[in-house]
A and B are shown apart, each in its own frame.
Chain A
C-alpha cells in the first residue's frame, strides 16, 4: 500500500500497513466522523460540477457551498486533532498513576514483611512472658525466702540456748556425782577402819583368854 494514506481527513504515515489494518482503522475512525469521507467525496464532485458549470450566479452559490463544506471538513479535522492530543495526554496520566500504584504496592509489601517480623518478635516476647508467669506461679506456692531464713535463725537460737542449758545441767550433775562418790568412798573407808578395829580388838580378846587359859596347868 502507499506510504502516505489519507483516511477521514487525518494524514496517516504508516509504513507498509496491510489492507486489513487500513480497513479496520477506517471503520474505527469513521464511526465518530459521521460521514467525513462522504463529505470529501461530495466536495470533489461539486468541485468538478462547478468547474463544468455555466452561469455566474450558480457558480458563485456553488462556490460558497464548496467553501462552507471545506471549512466544515477543516473544523472536524481540528476537532479530531484535539481529541488525539487529549488521548495522548490521558495515556501519559494513566501511565503515571500506574507507576505510582506499583510503587505503593511494593511499599505495602515491604510494610507487610516488616509487620510479620514484628509479629514474630511480639510472639516471642509473649512466650517469654508466659513462661515467666508460669514459673512465678510455681514459686509463689513456696514460702518466702526471708521468712524461712528468719524462722531458721530463731530455731537456731533456741537450739543454742537449749544446748547451753543442757550443758550446765550436765555439769551440775557431774559435780554432785563426784561429791557423792567422795562421800561414799569416805564412808566405806570409815566402815573398813571400824571393822578392822573391831577385828583387832576381837583378836586381842581372844589372845588374852587363851593366855589366861594357858598359865593354869
Chain B
C-alpha cells in the first residue's frame, strides 16, 4: 500500500482502515480530492507529498519588513515564503499561490515566528533561530544564528510557544514549556532575565506598550503582567476564578492574548472576554462557544479565530459583527499585514489545521488561498 514505509505522521488513522478494508482506499486516504493520484502509476514521493499536505498544520505566520512576503511555519518544521505582491497582482496565476521557497528550518514544529526589520526569528523545539530576510529567498539559506535559553535541567528541552519583540529594549522574549519567560538581548544574544511565576506552560505573550509590560497567558489559567525593568510580576488575573467567563468544561487554559494598553482580550478555555486592566474587571464577554486560539485588536474591532472555520469580527460591545468562513477546519493564527512600505498588500491572512493560508483582502470575504 502506498505510504506504508511509515514516513510521515498519522498515516493510519483508524477510520482509514475501515474504509480501506471495504475496498475504497481512495476515500480512506481522502484522495478523491487529488485526482492526479488516481490516474496511472505515481511515484511514492508524490503520494507521500500529498499525504504530508493533508496532515499539515500551519502554526505560525510572519510578514516581511517590506510587506511583500509572508512566511508560514508548519508542524513538520518547514518554513514556506509566499510572495504576497505576486499573488495579489492582477496577473496572478496558480503558481503565484505556491511558495517562492520552502526550507526545513527546525526538527520539530515551528510554533512561533516574528520579524524584526531585517531578520525572521522562528522558534519551536526549544531553540530560536534567526534568518535574514534578504537571503531567505535564495535556495539553501542557512540560519544566521541559533540560541537556546538556559533551561533548568539539561535533559528536557521544552518547546517555545511564543515569541515577542520588545522594540524599545531591542530584546526578544521567549516563553513556552518550562513555565518561564526568558528575555534575550538581540544585539548580544545573551539571556538577561528569566521571569518565573507561572505554574504550567505558557501559551501566548502580548506587549503592553505604554508602560512596558509583558502579558503572558498559560495553561494554569492565569494572565500575568510583568514589568520588564524590575523583572517582577505586577498583576495577576486568574480568569477561571471569575464566574462570568469561566467554562470549567473547557478547562482553564488561556490560549490567546491581545492587549491595547488599557484593555486586554483573552480566550481559550474560559470564554473570550474583554478586560479592563487597571481595575482587573471583565467588562464584555463575547458569546463564542468554541475556544479561540488567536485574537487581535484591529481598528475598532476585535478579530478572533479558533476551533471552527470562521474568522470572527466582534465589536467592543460584545456584538458579533461578521463571521467570515475560511478554508481550514480550524484556525490557529491570524496575521495582519500593516507594513507601511506595501499598502497594496494590506491583507489579513489566516492559517490553521490545513496546508492553506487564507488571504482576506477585504474583511468581508475570503479572496483566495495560498497553499504549501
Chain A residues close to B by CB (< 8 Å): 120, 123-124, 126-127, 130-131, 133-135, 137-138
Chain A contacts for B284, CB-based, 8 A: 134
In the complex, the answer to whether B299 meets A131 with C-beta atoms within 8 Å is no
Q: Which of B262, B279, B299, B300 has the most CB of A within 10 A?
A: B300
The 8 closest A-B pairs by CB, nearest first: A130-B316, A127-B300, A134-B283, A123-B300, A123-B299, A126-B300, A130-B317, A134-B284
> Which residues of B lie under 8 Å from residue A130 when comparing CB positions?
300, 315-317
Contact with A along B294-314 (1 / 0, CB 8 A): 000001100000000000000
Report if B48 contacts A (CB, 8 A): no
Question: Are A131 and B263 neighbours in the complex by a CB distance under 8 Å?
Answer: yes
Alpha-carbon gap, A167 to B306, bound state (A): 67
Query: Does B192 reach chain A (CB closer than 8 Å)?
Result: no
Interface size class of B (residues with CB under 8 A): 10 to 19
Contact call A134/B274, Cβ cutoff below 8 A: yes
Closest residue of chain A to B299, judged by CB?
A123
Write the nearest CB–CB distance from B266 to chain A, whole angstroms: 15
Q: Are B283 and A124 in contact (CB under 8 A)?
A: no
B300 touches A124 (CB 8 A): yes
CB contacts (< 8 Å) of A123 on chain B: these are 299-300
- Asked whether, in the complex, the Cβ of A120 is within 8 Å of the Cβ of B299, the reply is yes
> Chain A's interface: helix, strand, loop or mixed, by majority?
helix
Q: List CB contacts (< 8 Å) of B256-277 with chain A.
A: 262-263, 274, 276
Query: Is A134 within 8 A of B276, CB to CB?
Result: yes
Query: How far is B317's CA from A135's CA once the two chains are assembled, in angstroms?
Result: 10
- B300 and A135 contacting across the interface, CB-CB below 8 Å: no
List residues of chain A with CB within 8 A of the CB of B263.
131
Whole-angstrom distance between the alpha carbons of A40 and B159 in the complex? Answer: 97
Select from chain B the residue with minimum beta-carbon distance to A127.
B300
Q: Are B299 and A134 in contact (CB under 8 A)?
A: no
Q: Which of A120, A124, A127, A138 contacts B276 (CB under 8 A)?
A: A138
CB-CB contacts below 8 Å: B288-344 with A: 299-300, 315-317
CA distance A131 to B316 in the complex (A): 7
Apart from A130-B316, A131-B262, A133-B317: 10 A-B pairs, beta carbons within 8 A: A123-B299, A124-B300, A127-B316, A131-B263, A131-B316, A133-B316, A135-B283, A137-B283, A138-B279, A138-B281
- Residues in A neighbouring B281, C-beta threshold 8 A: 138
Give A142's nearest chain B residue, CB to CB.
Answer: B281
Q: A133 vs B316: C-alpha distance in the bound complex, in angstroms?
A: 9
Residues in B neighbouring A134, C-beta threshold 8 A: 274, 276, 283-284, 316-317
Question: Can you list 30 A-B pairs with a CB-CB distance of less than 8 A?
Answer: A120-B299, A123-B299, A123-B300, A124-B299, A124-B300, A126-B300, A127-B299, A127-B300, A127-B316, A130-B300, A130-B315, A130-B316, A130-B317, A131-B262, A131-B263, A131-B316, A133-B316, A133-B317, A134-B274, A134-B276, A134-B283, A134-B284, A134-B316, A134-B317, A135-B283, A137-B283, A138-B276, A138-B279, A138-B281, A138-B283
Task: Write out the residue numbers on chain A whose beta carbons fall within 8 Å of the beta carbon of B316.
Answer: 127, 130-131, 133-134
Report the separation of the CA atoms of residues A133 and B276 in the bound assembly, to the nearest whole angstrom: 12
**Residues in chain B near residue A133, CB distance under 8 A:** 316-317
Query: Within 8 Å CB of B317, what residues of A?
Result: 130, 133-134
Cα of A134 to Cα of B285 in the assembled complex, Å: 10
Give the complex CA separation of A130 and B276 in angstroms: 12
Cα–Cα distance between A134 and B286 once the two chains are bound (Å):
12
Q: Are B299 and A135 closer than 8 Å at their CB atoms?
A: no
Write the nearest CB–CB distance from B27 to chain A, whole angstroms: 48
In the bound complex, what is the Cα–Cα distance between A138 and B283 (angstroms)? Answer: 6
What is the CB-to-nearest-CB distance from A1 to chain B, in angstroms, rounded to a whole number?
A: 45
Closest to B276 in A: A135
A175 to chain B, nearest CB (A): 54
Shortest B280–chain A CB gap in Å is 11
Among residues of B, the one whose C-beta sits closest to the C-beta of A132 is B316
Q: List B contacts of A138 (CB < 8 A).
A: 276, 279, 281, 283
> Could you tell me the distance between the alpha carbons of A135 and B280 in the complex, rounded to whole angstroms?
11
What is the distance, in angstroms, from A137's C-beta to the closest C-beta of chain B?
7
Write the nearest CB–CB distance from B166 to chain A, whole angstroms. 25
Q: With a CB–CB cut-off of 8 A, which chain A residues contact B276?
A: 134-135, 138
Cα of A130 to Cα of B319 in the assembled complex, Å: 11
- What B residues does A137 contact at CB under 8 A? 283
Once bound together, how far apart are the Cα atoms of A124 and B298, in whole Å? 10
Residues of B within 8 A of A135 (CB): 276, 283
- A200 CA to B360 CA, complexed, in Å: 122
Q: How far is the CA of A120 from the CA of B187 in the complex (A)?
A: 37
